[in-house]
Amino acid sequence: MKKLLFALAAVLLLTVPARALEVSAPSALLMEKETGTVLFAKNEHDRLEPASVTKVMTILLTMEAIDAGTLHYDDVVTASAHACSMGGSQIWLKENEQMTVSDLLKAVCVVSANDCAVALAEQLAGSEDAFVERMNRRAQELGMKDTVFKNATGLPAAGHVTSAYDIALMSRELILNHPDIRQYTTIWMDTLRQGASSLVNTNKLIRFFDGATGLKTGSTGSALYCLSGTAERDGMELIAVIMKAPTSAQRFEDAKALLSHGFSTYSLVSAAPDGALPPVPVTLGAQATVQPVAGAKSILLEKSRAAGLEKTITLAESVSAPVAKGDPLGTLTVSSGGETLAEIPLTAGEDVPRLTWGALALEYLRAAFLGA
């Protein structure tokens, strides 16, 4: 059943062209968050150094722990000598200095603090090496086939590589399932240590691009200038990944070009039925009907095709028990001007077991008694 849903969902993704403009960076990608549709791709699987864009995974694992309740924003972390030795972008943590998870996360998101990233890694896994194992395991779970992490920061290390496509995957996972991260990634200026330490976001999109929501910059001498930039307008959030841009200014210009193209060309349209779906009768079920639900929340369309949409619902007249949650019950067809744009599965929203022999006998007795 899951394979069927994925196949039908693919219909929504394959209708969108993936190449419609050019950027100067050697590797780039534009993805829509809700559907995961790739709207633009250029050498998206080239394995390149990501620099501090690596920290998207560090942030993701931190947010997953927070949302799971194993880590808390107000937990106090004590900085180790190893964390304080990182160099590069940092807030100059001192050994044994204590700081909350919230403040460490703020420093990572806003100024790409390497010392804070390692402090969080050690808090979560006991050591940076153990945390890196988690990073690579999570990357595999997300389908990041071009990625090998060697540290939690993105500081230069032999074999530490990823791709624009993989960065988009982990960025999507972060912003789709952990939206609270915006409280940090949308900060332009702030302070730490009771105002003693000033922070200014390395991501210039936050101030200069309408709707910017994050996410992470990165640069080293060998990686050059990288970015995972996110922005939301009219309920649609996009992820623009730029790798190995020659200058900092150029990575932001390329990202703005991708994001602007996405927002001007595409719309995220509700795939929900216009009214309540009627229940489908269940033969020999423990309950008389099963409620169908739509298998997708939204579809992504070119704006020129998003006007005048028509939705047609086809449902089974009845189904036989047992019914499992997710079983197919019908199709919602979205069309415009007679052209089918998407076919969305309508599936059972609950399990309906088959009547037991005892219950079936009771039903026959009740029917016979009432009919007498």
Q: Any idea where the domains of the chain sit in the sequence? A: 17-266, 280-358
| Res 179: pLDDT | 97
Q: Give the whole-angstrom CA distance, residue 325 versus residue 312.
A: 22
Q: Considering 27, 33, 42, 52, which one is annotated as catalytic?
A: 52
Q: Does domain 280-358 bear CATH number 2.60.410.10? A: yes
pLDDT at 293 over 50: yes
Span 323-336, mean pLDDT?
94
| Res 3: pLDDT | 37
For domain 17-266, the CATH architecture is 3-Layer(aba) Sandwich (3.40)
Q: Considering 80, 89, 112, 228, which one is annotated as catalytic?
A: 112
β-strand partners of 344? 332
pLDDT at 242 over 50: yes
Query: What is the β-pairing status of strands 280-283 and 319-320?
Result: parallel
Residue 105: both structure tokens together:
């996360």
| Res 172: pLDDT | 98
Banded model confidence at residue 10, pLDDT cuts 50, 70, 90: very low
Question: If we measure between CA atoms, which residue out of 187, 350, 338, 167 comes closest to residue 251?
Answer: 167
pLDDT at 14 over 50: no
Q: Give the whole-angstrom CA distance, residue 368 versus residue 167.
A: 66
Please indicate whether the domains covering 17-266 and 280-358 agree at the CATH topology level. Answer: no
89 is catalytic: no
Banded model confidence at residue 358, pLDDT cuts 50, 70, 90: low
Q: Considering 55, 106, 244, 256, which one is annotated as catalytic?
A: 55
The three-point CA angle 52-180-176 to 5° equals: 75
Q: Which of 173-177, 223-227, 339-343 has the lowest mean pLDDT?
A: 339-343
Helix, strand, coil percentages in the chain from 3-state DSSP, rounded to 5: 35, 30, 35
Neighbouring C-beta atoms of residue 129, cutoff 10 Å = 13
> Which pLDDT tens digit goes with each residue over 90-118?
999 999 999 999 999 999 999 999 999 99
Q: Which helix (H) or strand (E) holds 280?
A: strand 280-283
Mean pLDDT of the chain: 92
> Which pLDDT tens digit goes with each residue over 148-202?
999 999 999 999 999 999 999 999 999 999 999 999 999 999 999 999 999 999 9
Question: If we measure between CA atoms, which residue out of 88, 66, 89, 64 comes closest to residue 77?
Answer: 66
Span 225-244, mean pLDDT?
98
- Which residues neighbour 136 within 8 Å (Cβ) at sequence distance 6 or greater? 147, 148, 149
Q: Give the whole-angstrom CA distance, residue 49 versus residue 26.
A: 13
| Res 363: pLDDT | 61
| Res 362: pLDDT | 62
pLDDT at 9 over 70: no
| Res 8: pLDDT | 39
| Res 361: pLDDT | 60
55 is catalytic: yes
Q: Give the whole-angstrom CA distance, residue 308 versus residue 202.
A: 42
Banded model confidence at residue 7, pLDDT cuts 50, 70, 90: very low
Residue 14 DSSP symbol: T
